[in-house]
Amino acid sequence: MEDTNLQIMNLIINAGDAKSSAMEAIYAAKKKDFVLAENKIKEANVKINKAHNSQTDLLTEEANGNHTELSLLMVHAQDHLMTALTFLDLAKEVIDVYKTIDVALVEGS
């Protein structure tokens, strides 16, 4: 159970870090710092992969017959992961919009 809780906490931490990096990427793009924005997206991808790996470990244990009791902490972890995945996708689109606006303003000058 202790190992399971560790995996769950890793999922929560890494998903939360991914979401934070994605938000920082949006802030950077808003300031027209597209290099920083892309670096923050890369950071977010690394963190989301770590979170996804924790989820995969938990799913593998379940598939192997080692059932985990469903807890509020597990639900919370899954919520964090799904929110972070959605937020990361949205952040990429917002950054593209900021880039498009920046190009249009430069070309319009």
| Catalytic residue list | 76
Residues of 53-92 as b/e, b for ≥16 C-beta within 10 angstroms? ebbeebeeeeeeeeeeeeeeebeebbebbeebbebbeebb
Q: Tokens 């192997």 correspond to what residue?
A: 64
Task: Report whether 79 belongs to an annotated binding site.
Answer: yes
Instruction: Write out the binding residues.
Output: 79
Instruction: Write out the binding residues for Mg(2+).
Output: 79
